[in-house]
Amino acid sequence: MKVTIVGAGAVGASCAEYVAIKDFASEVVLLDIKDGVAEGKAMDLMQTATLNSFDTKITGTTNDYSKTAGSDIAVITSGIPRKPGMTREELIGINAGIVKEVSSNLIKHSPNVTLIVVSNPMDTMTYLVHKTTGLPKNKIIGMGGALDSARFKFRLSEALECPPSDVDGMVIGGHSDTGMVPLTRLATRNSVPVSAFLSEDRLNQVSEDTKVGGATLTKLLGTSAWYAPGAAVSALVQAIACDQKKMFPCSAMLEGEYGLNDICIGVPAILGKDGLEKIVEIELDDAESKKIKESAEGVNKTNALLEL
C-alpha cells in the first residue's frame, strides 16, 4: 500500500505522521514544490520510527512525480492556506490551478489512484477534479465532513461534560462556515439523543461553534489548523487502504441523491478498497433538507467561479 501526500505543509506532514503511526501503509511519499521541505520532513518523521514503533517508509521529493508512481491513494493538500479573516472561497483563484495540475500529474504516474482532495474551497476543488480528470466518481473523495464531524463531537462532549468517546454525531453539507449542517437531532451520547441532556439553545450554540471551528483556530493560530485536519485525512486513507467499510461524511459527486445533481457536497458515504463505495441517504427533516439545499446553493455559486 503506497500513499502519496502532495503538499508537505502542516496538514500534509501531520497526515503523513498519522498514517505512519497507524502502520498500515508500506510507503508514504511526501511531495512539495519548495526545495528540500518534503525531504526534510520525511527524514524527521523517519527518525521517529523506532520511537513510535512503525515500519512505514516515508520519503520526500521536490516536485518529482515519478517518485509517486504506483500510488494506491493520493492526498492533495496543495495550495495556499487561510489567513485570519479569509473565507475558504477566497482561495479559489490560486488553488484551482494548483489542484488541476497536481491531479493531472498524479494520474499520469498512478492511473488507478484514489484521490482525496483537501485543498480549499474543498467541495469546489473536488468538483474540479471530477470535471477535469476523467477518473470514476468513486475514486474522487473530498475531505471536509470527517473533520467537521470531529469538531462537532468535540463541542458536544464539551457541552455534555463527558468523554469524547461517549459522543456520536455527524456534519453534512458544504465545508464552509455557512454551509455546514450539524445534525444535532441525530447526535447521541451512548445511543441517547443529546437533546435529553442539552437545551435547544445550548445545542444551537454547539452547532454555531462547530460551523466556525476552522475560522476560530485560524484566528488563534494565524493560519489554518493542522492536527485535526491531518488526523481526519488519515482516517479516510486508512478506511480505504484497509477496506474498513467505515462511514464518513465526504464530499461526493451527487446524481440525484438528496435531491441534488452535478455537485460535490458532504454526505454520508461508505469507504473501502474501491474508494467511495456507497452514498448513504438518511432521512432529513424539513429544516435539515432546507439547510442542505441552501448549502448546495452556496457551493454552486463558488463552482460558477471555476474556469472549466
Give the three cell numbers for residue 99.
489542484
Query: Half-sphere exposure of residue 97, counting CA atoms within 13 Å on the CB side?
Result: 3
Handedness of CA 154, 158, 163, 168 (dihedral sign): negative
Give the three cell numbers for residue 86.
479569509
Annotated binding site for substrate: 82, 88, 120, 151
User: Catalytic residue numbers?
Assistant: 175
* Separation CA 64–CA 251 (nearest Å): 28
Annotated binding site: 7-12, 32, 82, 88, 95, 118-120, 151
* Bridge partners for 171 per DSSP: 182
Contacts of 18 (CB under 8 A, 6+ apart): 230, 231, 233, 234
Annotated binding site for NAD(+): 7-12, 32, 95, 118-120
Assess contact for 16 and 41: CB atoms under 8 A: yes
